[in-house]
Amino acid sequence: MPIYEYRCNQCNREFSELFLNLREAGKVRCKYCNSRNLSRLISSFRVHQTEGSRLENFDTSKSQGDAFYKDSRNVGLWAKKRMKELGVDLGSKMGEIVEKGRTGKILDDYNK
Ligand SMILES: [Zn+2]
């Protein structure tokens, strides 16, 4: 579940987006002005592994089935646990994003 940070070239604001899958990353728009003219920033919690290998290493089929992820509470739980494993310091901003993903609001955004 990658999280990207962007700067909008239109209104110059920065924001973060958590993606449930990489397909969504291509559809990102500015949260403030809806522009697609964005620059991706280097994420503050970037780890040594590439995104691809991180996703590869996370084998969801082993420990949890579909039911685990149907409970939205577990989504945030996983993200928090995973980032802790990666040595990521969860700031308040991060908690907010995880919370957004957890409650499904992020999906509403994409369905607009
Ligand atoms: Zn903007």
Residue 27 Cα, ligand 1 centroid: separation in angstroms?
14
The length of the chain is 112
Spell out the residues 6+ positions from residue 87 whose beta carbon is closer than 8 angstroms to its own.
47
CA pair distance 37, 87, nearest whole angstrom: 32
pLDDT top residue among 84 and 41:
41
pLDDT top residue among 28 and 85:
28
Phi–psi pair at 88, nearest 5 degrees: -90, 135
Give yes or no for residue 37 having a pLDDT over 90: yes
Residue 58 Cα, ligand 1 centroid: separation in angstroms?
33
Residue 40 Cα, ligand 1 centroid: separation in angstroms?
13
Helices (H), 58-103: 60-63, 66-70, 72-85, 92-102
Boundaries of every domain in the chain: 3-111
Residue 37 Cα, ligand 1 centroid: separation in angstroms?
8
Give yes or no for residue 44 having a pLDDT over 70: no
Residue 14 Cα, ligand 1 centroid: separation in angstroms?
8
CA pair distance 13, 42, nearest whole angstrom: 15
